[in-house]
């Protein structure tokens, strides 16, 4: 009876059911569980501690990370409770999103050894050297760009478009503001950038011929779209076979003032939402990850999503 009560207590929270369901598929670190569930690290660690105390999961260290998996030494009663927990997790509203995020993380782990950009950035900021700057790094990276035709959708006044045009074959900047399009076009003429063209249009139906673009960029534009899924589907149609989409946007947040302060339609996006829209549009080789976190409140996070036609 004592072990039964122990398991009942351990499985009394829906979050712990979600965790067991995820660990049934793969051994995961705390950071990976956090990325899948979008829950805080301390909360994940607390739930894992309770599950480990109940001998339903076990952990191992690998460098600075701790990985968790279902306990292979659980007794018969414990194994029955794990099966019941996994079944119950499928009834939770978060389950479909968890499975999409898990699939993406497992695929990413299998395909590449991850090197986190913030680790590189951290080393860069700590070590001074004459001439070392992000400005110089940016110019270096621009040099490796092939001669692409790029669509910068929701371009604003075209800061990114102007940078890309210095190396790309052609850049088409699309925005729905007549004033911004006029401003960007005038600036391009002033700077003698002949391969940068500004067009007035909407994300849901950009004024670009289908199948003519190598790369579509949506940089901090999707959260202004009326229908993000439709905008991504429209981007797919613009691309040549093998073309790519890059989406840089806010992760889902709880800062409602963004609507009034910045005119945002959407409070950012979850990884599973972006993954679903990209899959529905027809994209393959989808990769999505958080690439930046702000230190100051409200601690906005930035997501980079990529896919190939």
Residue 119 has a pLDDT of 54
Same domain, residue pair 278 and 200? yes
Query: Which residues touch 249 (CB under 8 Å, ≥6 apart)?
Result: 218, 219, 220, 221, 222, 223, 268, 269, 274, 302, 303, 305
Residue 23 has a pLDDT of 93
- Reading the block at residue 224, the tokens are 């202004």
The verdict on residue 119 lying in a domain is no
**Which tens digit of pLDDT belongs to each residue from 159-199?**
899 989 988 999 999 999 999 999 999 999 999 999 999 99
Query: Which residues touch 173 (CB under 8 Å, ≥6 apart)?
Result: 152, 155, 158, 161, 181, 184, 196, 197, 198, 199
Same domain, residue pair 68 and 212? no
Kindly tell me if the per-residue pLDDT of 80 is higher than 80. yes
Q: Which has the minimum average pLDDT: 16-25, 94-103, 138-147, 218-227?
A: 138-147
Same domain, residue pair 301 and 160? yes
Residue 263 has a pLDDT of 85
Q: Could you give the number of structural domains in the chain?
A: 2
Alpha-carbon torsion angle 224, 230, 234, 239, nearest 10:
90
- Reading the block at residue 184, the tokens are 């960007």
Cβ atoms of 57 and 68 closer than 8 Å:
yes
Measured in degrees and rounded to the nearest 5, phi and psi for residue 283 equal -75, 150
The percentage of residues in the chain with a pLDDT greater than 70, rounded to a whole number, is: 91
Q: How far apart (Å, rounded) are the C-alpha atoms in residues 222 and 224?
A: 5
Q: How far apart (Å, rounded) are the C-alpha atoms in residues 223 and 230?
A: 13
Give the dihedral sign, CA 118/119/122/124.
negative
- Reading the block at residue 54, the tokens are 């109940």
Same domain, residue pair 161 and 223? yes
Residue 113 has a pLDDT of 44
Q: Tokens 């076990």 belong to which residue?
A: 58
Same domain, residue pair 83 and 150? no
The verdict on residue 143 lying in a domain is yes
Residue 114 has a pLDDT of 46
Q: How far apart (Å, rounded) are the C-alpha atoms in residues 22 and 37?
A: 10
Same domain, residue pair 149 and 249? yes
- Reading the block at residue 110, the tokens are 């299998």
Distances (CA, A) of 247 to 101, 178, 190: 17, 23, 29
CATH of the domain at 10: 1.10.10.10
Q: How far apart (Å, rounded) are the C-alpha atoms in residues 209 and 230?
A: 17
Same domain, residue pair 97 and 147? no
Residue 118 has a pLDDT of 52
The verdict on residue 120 lying in a domain is no
- Reading the block at residue 289, the tokens are 């990850």
Residue 262 has a pLDDT of 81
Distances (CA, A) of 226 to 7, 264, 267: 46, 10, 13
The verdict on residue 124 lying in a domain is no
Distance between first and last Cα of the chain: 56
**Which tens digit of pLDDT belongs to each residue from 5-40?**
888 888 899 999 999 999 998 899 998 999 899 888
- Which residues constitute the domain of residue 90? 2-111
Same domain, residue pair 105 and 138? no
Same domain, residue pair 70 and 154? no
CATH of the domain at 169: 3.40.50.150
Based on the number of CB atoms within 10 Å of its own CB, is 55 exposed (0-12), middle (13-18) or buried (19 or more)? middle
The verdict on residue 117 lying in a domain is no
Q: How far apart (Å, rounded) are the C-alpha atoms in residues 249 and 305?
A: 8
**Which tens digit of pLDDT belongs to each residue from 253-269?**
988 888 888 888 999 99
- Reading the block at residue 30, the tokens are 């705390």
């Amino acid at each position: 009876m004592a072990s039964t009560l122990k398991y009942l207590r351990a499985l009394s929270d829906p979050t712990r059911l979600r965790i067991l369901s995820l660990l049934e598929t793969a051994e995961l670190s705390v950071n990976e569980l956090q990325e899948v569930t979008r829950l805080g690290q301390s909360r994940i660690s607390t739930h894992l501690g309770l599950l480990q105390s109940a001998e339903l999961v076990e952990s191992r260290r690998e460098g600075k990370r701790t990985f968790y998996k279902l306990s292979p030494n659980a007794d018969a009663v414990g194994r029955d409770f794990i099966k019941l927990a996994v079944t119950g997790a499928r009834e939770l509203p978060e389950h479909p999103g968890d499975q999409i995020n898990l699939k993406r993380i497992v695929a990413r782990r299998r395909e590449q050894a991850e090197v986190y950009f913030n680790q590189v950035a951290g080393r860069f900021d700590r070590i001074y050297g004459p001439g070392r700057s992000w400005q110089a790094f940016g110019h270096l990276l621009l040099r490796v760009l092939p001669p692409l035709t790029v669509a910068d959708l929701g371009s604003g006044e075209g800061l990114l478009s102007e940078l890309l045009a210095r190396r790309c074959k052609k850049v088409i900047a699309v925005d729905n503001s007549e004033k911004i399009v006029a401003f960007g076009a005038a600036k391009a003429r002033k700077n003698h950038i002949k391969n940068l063209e500004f067009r007035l249009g909407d994300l849901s139906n950009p004024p670009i011929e289908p199948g003519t673009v190598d790369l579509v960029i949506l940089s901090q534009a999707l959260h202004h779209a009326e229908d993000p899924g439709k905008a991504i589907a429209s981007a797919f149609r613009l691309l040549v076979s093998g073309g790519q989409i890059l989406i840089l946007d806010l992760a889902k947040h709880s800062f409602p003032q963004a609507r009034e302060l910045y005119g945002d339609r959407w409070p950012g996006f979850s990884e599973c939402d972006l993954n679903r829209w990209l899959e529905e549009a027809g994209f393959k080789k989808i990769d999505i990850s958080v690439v930046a976190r702000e230190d100051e409140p409200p601690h906005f996070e930035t997501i980079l999503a990529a896919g190939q036609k």
